[in-house]
Amino acid sequence: MVAEVQSSNIIDDTSVIHQSIDLAEVGGGKETNPLWKSEIGNEEFSEALRQSLALHTLLSEKGGHYTLKASLLSVEQPFFGASFTVKTNVQYTLVDTKNQKTIFDKIIHAEYTAQFSDSFYGAKRLQLANEGAVKENISNFVTYLIEQSKNNPEFSRDGGLMISMVLN
């Protein structure tokens, strides 16, 4: 579920968000019941987000300038079908730790489809669709955050810009 680094979302050492984010709390997930259907657990979501931030050199190594909270607001899953499309909505909130000002509050939507050819077994296909949707969601978040840090001069360590919207 870790978002891979793309050429469009590489940041340099001088970026305001380079190694500046602490991951505070991650919520909204549900643990998988082995007798029912695959879910996205908080622990797995948190670890995927942490690893993605680290891979993109966003995760702070010692007391970041920003604190990130992520809440899995909704996960839409199919009950049956040849292909399974899972849709996720995650709210990401970034707070400036210096003045406790929210500078980024965004709901990001992502979806992923696991095809019948990915797995004959329906439960496995649902798991793949869940993991793919979370990976896409984290990737969308990271890409959007990096774009904002590059293109918006008000996104800085000295004040910040409040960003609040839904990305589809």
Quick: pLDDT tens for 111-148.
999 988 878 787 788 889 999 999 999 999 999 888 88
pLDDT of 154 > 60? The answer is: no
Greater confidence (161 vs 90) lies with 90
Task: List, in order, residues 6 or more apart from 2 with CB less than 8 Å away.
Answer: 48, 51, 52, 55, 135, 138
Query: pLDDT tier at 71 (50, 70, 90 boundaries)?
Result: very high
Q: How far apart, in whole angstroms, are the C-alpha atoms of residue 41 and residue 96? A: 27
Q: Is the CA virtual torsion 132, 133, 134, 137 positive or negative? A: positive
pLDDT of 166 > 90? The answer is: no
Query: pLDDT tier at 41 (50, 70, 90 boundaries)?
Result: confident
Global confidence as pTM: 0.82
Provide the residue ranges of all domains of the chain, joining segments of one domain with +: 16-167
pLDDT averaged over every residue in the chain: 81
8 A C-beta contact, residue 40 and residue 73: no
Compute φ and ψ for 134, nearest 5 degrees: -65, -45
CATH of 16-167, one of 3.30.70.940, 3.30.160.150, 3.30.1330.60, 3.90.25.10: 3.30.160.150
Strand, coil or helix: 45 = helix
pLDDT of 161 > 90? The answer is: no
pLDDT of 167 > 60? The answer is: no
